[in-house]
Structure 1
């Protein structure tokens, strides 16, 4: 099926839906796709800690300083300055006043601001410890109300570009442009040709290329891989942030223990109950994430332990009861036999957030015409070498809004004749379906290679080993992909190995340790 819209958005998290709502409010026809069956199955939905918001008396210069320090001052200063001055107000102007998002209030009825590591003040709004799903549900409701079309169960296959896909030879000599996307309808196996005057990638991160991650299963580096294959600039790919504290449990996977616990007093201890953060940083538990992550990793390595402990029970300084302030964490841990009001929580570092991504300007425009990227898949440079806690939701909101406004002001339509020369997707004549066991084995190889050789601590030798192994398997996976009957699994595998190679190459190229890229050579 061939169809056309004004704006095509891939991804239904805070960045994608904010962009979609903004474009729709400007009168544009907007189509949003997600490969998941549930629209809300996004990284946004699982965000616990909170979102930086405007607060009376807050100084934008102080927020700017905190972001730059967390990012080792390798940030894009223009992006950081713009974000610090303009973004926090959007939480009230857009989320609360327009979308109707609910945030927690204290006993006096005022909004309850909390603190997280490396912040100079309490400037973060939250909804208990599941801020993300409060934001996600309100955005979905708003998008549907104003007529944004959302199609679940559609997996993006490739970006359509004039230079690569057009059968008009003259397009080869034109500047590269994105005309839309090939997208697989998971239920039927049909690949649709979706044209759009503007395409927004809001596909999230790539945590699942690592053995341990806090990301949901959908975070397989799809947007990064597709943009890279289309020729877009990718920057800062070595900067993969590992969250210090994911739950270590044999039955509960991918569950984040929010940094806000440490903001409310929780202490890290070894399995003998001894605190250790004082040995690594004067800020102890409130040091930046990369510092805390490496401290836990070093203690685990030194002691030969699979995990460390996080104790909130004996150190909590919040106003509300623990089980109310951290209801999701309390409920999840309780199911696993851990009562966080009494017991310390077993934790381990896990891949959490991609600070690099598709290079974009301050309006979300990539290096390819008509292609925008927002949220975790994009790199404005705001995070530099390491992301400051609770900036990610606000980043998605801010640049989702910026991209939407830029598109709405543009109005640059693609001529019909140019689209007529784009063919529909062609399935190979002898295409076959590959067994899920083969795909599982390849994923296991990617995950373990990245965790062991390109993870928290890196060396030239380990990265060269990772690069060689990934190059070998990428050749085989690409061959599989080209001969396959397309399904979501084989597309994700192709994207995953591409994303892993991008990260490894960048980490090998950058010989200087900074933030969440740590070379131990």
Structure 2
């Protein structure tokens, strides 16, 4: 229900990727009033949309135990087995019921059978794909389906709406008695980008599905605004966080001076491509018995070591010499994007560099997506469910988003009627700016954001040391104080919100990395004397 200064709904979902979209679908189809918001201007400003490789699923002849073992091994020994079992045993049913039967996602088929890919550290082919545009097709089909659900009046999708902070008791209540109650989330302050008004959105349940944080790094495969907004908001609301030091770097992003770090899918190596240095030496067997199909952290470090050894800015990924498939047919998006920059991948190797790609940690969530705060759920990349442990297995992230999107929605359906007096609107103050607002200075925003990204890349990147991390902590803490003052004095918009959240998230990642002295998975820390 719309009011002048606030909106009320049963469920508020923040984020429109596969996790948030799945939750919205299940909730709306079960008659739960749901609002889903995105800071993007359309449904495609998500990490899901950019996912190339595919979605892993348990096929009929596959062994569940082998799939579980693959994920556990990829997770460096610290994955949560119950979560891994859930994602594996739910995979076949949910992929079929939601993606295939409901959404009609056109997964690639050869001779009447699904064309399953094998990716790094998978023991066999089990990855459904739509060539190299799987995420794009999943996102498009979700949006079409959800637009139909909007007609039922049970779902409202609001683009151009940015979550500023979670509304939480007792912090956002003027009633002192709330201090003695269990902390609870009751909605969010949301910026309407068109009106520039910050309004209160009240909800019985709030679902964080805001995606990743990798664009706090200089080189990233994520959209530029993937800066950990959900993690920063959850931290300010005092939710528990976990495993933030485990930042996965994708080993192969296109390296070109004029190009963004476009992701070269792991499926390329799954189809036979091999990494070589600029001297023509294939090097992965020196670093792992699995060679070019080693887990991502091992491949990223191997590339980094080769680059350091020869002072190179990139290495080469040779698909042309080894592919037994029609390259242009199997990887049309990669082929076209490389060709834009004069690289014909059917004839020559691709220059690649590692880039920040995925956060294995996040807001701690249980098997149904519930967090440490009452009525707050976290699903998808923003969450830490324990599936990925210290290092995510390729093509499991879309699957996790699908499964936890469903599980969180099912829990909400079961429990939403338990709290009839959850919040009192009059207790929660309207949004107020603490200082007179000044016009945004784009030079300050850009410099502060670039500074944050350089600090993270150089001090908290693929290989870390205590000295580097201590320097990062000091520099970022100083920067945070400056940015918070800047934030309080500046007209509210996406750029200042992202800047504030990026430096906060960066600090949380560095602090977690500094506390963990054990190298494991995507967190690799060496002695300062090495």
Q: TM-score, normalised by structure 1?
A: 0.98
Structure 1 residue 462 and structure 2 residue 468: aligned?
Answer: yes
Structure 1 residue 486 and structure 2 residue 492: aligned?
Answer: yes
Which residue of structure 1 lines up, in the alignment, with residue 271 of structure 2? Answer: 264
Deviation at residue 416 of structure 1 after TM alignment? 7.1
Structure 1 residue 76 and structure 2 residue 80: aligned?
Answer: yes
Structure 1 residue 137 and structure 2 residue 140: aligned?
Answer: yes
> Tell me, what secondary structure is at the counterpart of 2:130?
coil
2:253–2:263 contact (8 Å) kept in structure 1? yes
Deviation at residue 54 of structure 1 after TM alignment? 3.0
Structure 1 residue 425 and structure 2 residue 431: aligned?
Answer: yes
Q: TM-score, normalised by structure 2?
A: 0.96
Which of 225, 248, 254 matches 1:241? Answer: 248
Query: What is the alpha-carbon distance in structure 2 between the residues aligned to residue 491 and residue 414 of structure 1?
Result: 33
Query: What is the alpha-carbon distance in structure 2 between the residues aligned to residue 186 and residue 130 of structure 1?
Result: 30
Deviation at residue 423 of structure 1 after TM alignment? 1.3
**Alignment deviations for residues 193-228 of structure 1 (CA, whole Å, 9 cap, x no partner):** 101000001000101110000001120110000000
* 1:151-230 correspondence to structure 2 within 5 Å: 151-230=158-237
Deviation at residue 429 of structure 1 after TM alignment? 4.6
1:205–1:353 contact (8 Å) kept in structure 2? yes
Q: Quote the RMSD (CA, aligned, Å).
A: 1.0
Check 1:417–1:323 CA distance in 2 against 1; reply closer, same or farther (3 A cut).
closer
Runs of 4+ in 1 over 6 A off after TM superposition: none
Query: What is the alpha-carbon distance in structure 2 between the residues aligned to residue 155 and residue 436 of structure 1?
Result: 19
**Alignment deviations for residues 125-184 of structure 1 (CA, whole Å, 9 cap, x no partner):** 000100001100111111111122111101110000111111111112211000100010
Query: What is the alpha-carbon distance in structure 1 between the residues aligned to residue 346 and residue 115 of structure 2?
Result: 21
Which residue of structure 2 lines up, in the alignment, with residue 497 of structure 1? Answer: 503
Check 1:459–1:416 CA distance in 2 against 1; reply closer, same or farther (3 A cut).
closer
Deviation at residue 417 of structure 1 after TM alignment? 6.0
1:8–1:32 contact (8 Å) kept in structure 2? yes
Which residue of structure 2 lines up, in the alignment, with residue 409 of structure 1? Answer: 414
Deviation at residue 113 of structure 1 after TM alignment? 0.5
1:50–1:131 contact (8 Å) kept in structure 2? yes
Deviation at residue 270 of structure 1 after TM alignment? 0.8
Which of 109, 115, 120 matches 1:117? Answer: 120
* 1:290-301 correspondence to structure 2 within 5 Å: 290-301=297-308
Which residue of structure 2 lines up, in the alignment, with residue 30 of structure 1? Answer: 34
Query: What is the alpha-carbon distance in structure 2 between the residues aligned to residue 491 and residue 465 of structure 1?
Result: 25
**Alignment deviations for residues 254-284 of structure 1 (CA, whole Å, 9 cap, x no partner):** 3100000000000101112210111101111
Unmatched runs of 5 consecutive residues or more in structure 1: none
Structure 1 residue 274 and structure 2 residue 278: aligned?
Answer: no
Report the number of matched residues: 518
> Tell me, what secondary structure is at the counterpart of 2:503?
helix
Query: What is the alpha-carbon distance in structure 1 between the residues aligned to residue 175 and residue 491 of structure 2?
Result: 27
**Alignment deviations for residues 14-70 of structure 1 (CA, whole Å, 9 cap, x no partner):** 000001111111101111100011211110001000001231211111010000101
Query: What is the alpha-carbon distance in structure 2 between the residues aligned to residue 258 and residue 506 of structure 1?
Result: 28
> Tell me, what secondary structure is at the counterpart of 2:339?
helix
2:70–2:122 contact (8 Å) kept in structure 1? yes
Unmatched runs of 5 consecutive residues or more in structure 2: none
Query: What is the alpha-carbon distance in structure 1 between the residues aligned to residue 490 and residue 247 of structure 2?
Result: 31
1:54–1:92 contact (8 Å) kept in structure 2? no
Query: What is the alpha-carbon distance in structure 2 between the residues aligned to residue 326 and residue 289 of structure 1?
Result: 20
